[in-house]
Amino acid sequence: MNPRQPLGVAILGSTGSIGVSTLRVLERHRDEFNVVALIGGSNETVLAEQVAAWKPRMSGLVRGESRAPFPAGPGILTDAATHPDVDIVLNAVVGAAGLDATLAALRAGKRVALANKESLVMAGHLVAEAARAGGGEIVPVDSEHSAVLQCAAAQGAAPSRLILTASGGPFRGWDHDRIAGATAAEALQHPTWRMGSKISIDSATLANKALEVIEAHYLFGLPFDAIEVVVHPQSIIHAFVEFPDGSVLAQLGFPSMELPILYALTHPRRLLDGGVRRFDPLTAGPLTFEPIRHESFPAFALGVAAGRAGGTMPAAFNAANEVAVQAFLAGQIPFGDIPRVIDAVLSRIASSEPASLDAVRATDTEARRIAQDAAGCS
Ligand code: NAD
Ligand code: MG
């Protein structure tokens, strides 16, 4: 990449939490980047404001409620992801809806700054294959994976073991029965991050950390035995990275997605940026670590087991989780039923190998059907 030529950026999911944070980062680097496309899933008002401020060549809403001047329909995600003026696709769509754009962008040789971890979880091999075939590359936006990449890039060596940190979510200190009956308002109150509703619920069940273990497996090519998780309530250390000689590096910072977003845009370069709160160990205070309480957060082990099983099982886990989270947010199931629905799907569905795109889509559809049935809202 030529550092003097502004790089074209497409933001998919521009109206969400990561999308808005990305525009805040780009605002500070208008000479480095040019916003070519802004695509939202909903929220016409926010999109209209973004379009007025950035005047992208392409903009649109995916959902049906859009009126002129925005084109609508899922095809605009892949159109934006493959637009000839786009160098970097920041995929901040939530859920399975982000998969096609990730694949299309990689096949078109783009850098994908990936917040949409669900793409990699559903179809990790296919995503890697698309990158090889088209010459595209994936750079993670997820803070833990950005931490791993930053340590590995600084070292110029491949990690041999990872320890991803988890805040533990809003229910870290709660007892089992209280967690099972938690309300949506309680589950959405994340202690250290402000995020969209789906990932907030995933953080409360720890399903998010299972998605991240699978994400790390595909991003860094490490076996599941070499990817561990530790609860770290302060969210200051984002990951520990062990190298073959036993040395461990970690990446630190006050919780903010703006740094991992900026790094995903610039990797392996670093830009001068005053937007991120300066680190101060005294303000950060004591850093503590504890194990995951598996009996209270069964979604984590279910997700990691699906990752280890491979084939289309991770896609089944992802779909089951998406349906369960939606059912919980709609008031149809209690919080404690989210892992129950996931478990019902994983024990009833058959995995297929190899996980072709057709097999992934079929598993996604079937897992959603079983999950709706298990959630009692079919
Ligand atoms: P969000 O709900 O705030 O935003 C999601 C965006 O995707 C919105 O623009 C929405 O309109 C759009 N969208 C929703 N459904 C869509 C569909 N069917 N088709 C097209 N667009 C659709 O979510 P978020 O918190 O910004 O998270 C986005 C992604 O980034 C998720 O995969 C999440 O796991 C990941 N992520 C988020 C954070 C964070 O701090 N928010 C951190 C790490 C990773
Ligand atoms: Mg994360």
Residue with CA closest to ligand 1 atom 39: 195
Residue 71 confidence (pLDDT) above 90: no
Least confident window among 25-39, 88-102, 186-200, 294-308: 186-200
Residue with CA closest to ligand 1 atom 36: 115
- Which residue among 20, 142, 148, 195 has the greatest number of ligand 1 atoms within 8 angstroms of its CB, and so is best to mutate? 195
What does the pLDDT average to over 12-23?
98
Is 142 close to ligand 1, i.e. is its CB under 6 Å away?
yes
Q: Tell me the pLDDT tens digit for each residue of 346-373.
A: 999 998 888 899 999 999 999 999 999 9
What share of the chain has pLDDT > 70, as a percent? Answer: 97
Residue 111 confidence (pLDDT) above 60: yes
What share of the chain has pLDDT > 90, as a percent? Answer: 91
Residue 24 confidence (pLDDT) above 60: yes
Is 15 close to ligand 1, i.e. is its CB under 6 Å away?
yes
Q: What is the pTM of this model?
A: 0.97
Residue type, 141: V
Q: At what angle do helices 337-348 and 357-374 cross, to 10 degrees?
A: 130
Q: Tell me the pLDDT tens digit for each residue of 201-241.
A: 999 999 999 999 999 999 999 999 999 999 999 999 999 99
Is 36 close to ligand 1, i.e. is its CB under 6 Å away?
no
What does the pLDDT average to over 15-24?
98
What does the pLDDT average to over 258-275?
97
User: Residue 70: pLDDT band by 50, 70, 90 thresholds?
Assistant: low
The pLDDT score that the predictor gives to residue 193 is 85
User: Residue 66: pLDDT band by 50, 70, 90 thresholds?
Assistant: very low
Residue 52 confidence (pLDDT) above 60: yes
User: Residue 63: pLDDT band by 50, 70, 90 thresholds?
Assistant: confident
